[in-house]
Amino acid sequence: MSIAFTFPGQGSQAVGMGKDLAEAFPQARAVFEEVDEALGQKLSDIMWNGPEDQLTLTANAQPALMAVSMAVMRVLEAGGLKLADKVAYVAGHSLGEYSALCAAETFTIADTARLLRIRGDAMQSAVAVGEGAMAAIIGLEQVDVDAVCTEARDAGVCQIANDNGGGQLVISGSRAAVEKAAALATEKGAKRAIMLPVSAPFHSALMAPAGNAMQHALAQVAKRDPVVPVIANVRAAPVRDADEIAQLLVTQVTGQVRWRETVEWFAANDVTTLYEIGAGKVLTGLARRIDKTVTGIAVNTPADIDAALKTLLG
């Protein structure tokens, strides 16, 4: 039986996140200061005080969520945790893969913040506002969602962006095609097909310009092999070569986040506990729905950190 650390993606952000950590732990404060300095922006002020619409902007939400995850990691490390000694694998949902790699020492905190700012800006600018869309399809199997995406492609780009498990798949692409696919999914028996309030069609072929931007950025940044393997989003299998990881991060921009398969891989490989490191509890809830043999534990408050350290080091 082994343990993995998972790291949340966009949508887990909330005004006020990380403030209790900064007030309680100097190691957490140092992370937020390092991210602010790396970005040349008081991102921590937006995180703690809002406004919410500024925090939700992709270019802010991505480094902000990483900052909270790494604040938790630094406090755990100060409490005596050595990742390579206690944790078998790391994984993160979309931008959370960068947090996972930062935790596993592939990238520094400052470089991860800058990479995520580039990623957020590039994703936002890849498609004109209003031209792309995403929708959550609830209650259809992946093969059926693939079929409606294929059928809708006469109206534009349409593909599965996230397989989140528990009967929830997210599709992404051109607005007309996604709207058509959502309607087709309802006709095929989906419980719900919900257009999502997002600013761009993430993890679709329309993100190709952002993929190019990340290829350039990742080629310039210093990187090292992670101290524990990362389960890559687009492969749902472990990787530990830094150059291969960088290429998979480029693929991830336009590729599918295979989260259901990631959790299933954990379950099949004797990983029984997933600690969700950072804001919110989204991944903890998904783990429960995907495989009941896997326990999810959210770690984002001082009390959570104390409990985790007792369990992990006890």
Question: 3-state secondary structure string, the chain?
Answer: CEEEEEECCCCCCCCCCCHHHHHHCHHHHHHHHHHHHHHCCCHHHHHHHCCHHHHHCHHHHHHHHHHHHHHHHHHHHHCCCCHHHHCCEEEECCCHHHHHHHHCCCCCHHHHHHHHHHHHHHHHHHCCCCCEEEEEEECCCHHHHHHHHHHHHHHCCEEEEEEEECCEEEEEEEHHHHHHHHHHHHHCCCCEEEECCCCCCCCCHHHHHHHHHHHHHHHHCCCCCCCCCEECCCCCCEECCHHHHHHHHHHHHHCCECHHHHHHHHHHCCEEEEEEECCCCHHHHHHHHHCCCCEEEEECCHHHHHHHHHHHHC
Enclosing domain of residue 170? 132-198
Identify whether the C-beta of residue 262 lies closer than 8 Å to the C-beta of residue 233: yes
- CB count within 10 Å of CB 176 equals 16
Number of domains in the chain: 2
Residue 216 is a catalytic residue: no
pTM for this one? 0.97
> What average pLDDT does the chain have?
97
Express each pLDDT in 244-279 by its tens digit.
Answer: 999 999 999 999 999 999 999 999 999 999 999 999
Residues 46 and 73 in one domain: yes
Which of 182, 198, 214 is a domain's end point? 198
- Determine which one of 94, 99, 172, 174 is catalytic: 94
Same domain membership, residue 211 and residue 158 = no
Assess whether the previous peptide bond of 51 is cis (omega < 30° from 0). Answer: yes
pLDDT confidence of residue 215: 98
CATH of the domain at 102: 3.40.366.10
Domain with 190 in it: what CATH number? 3.30.70.250
pLDDT tens digit sequence for 135-171: 999 999 999 999 999 999 999 999 999 999 989 999 9
Instruction: Verify that 42 and 148 share a domain, yes or no.
Output: no
Question: Quick one: pLDDT at residue 199?
Answer: 83
- Interval 177-213: pLDDT, tens: 999 999 999 999 999 999 998 889 999 999 999 999 9
Whether 93 is a known active-site residue: answer: no
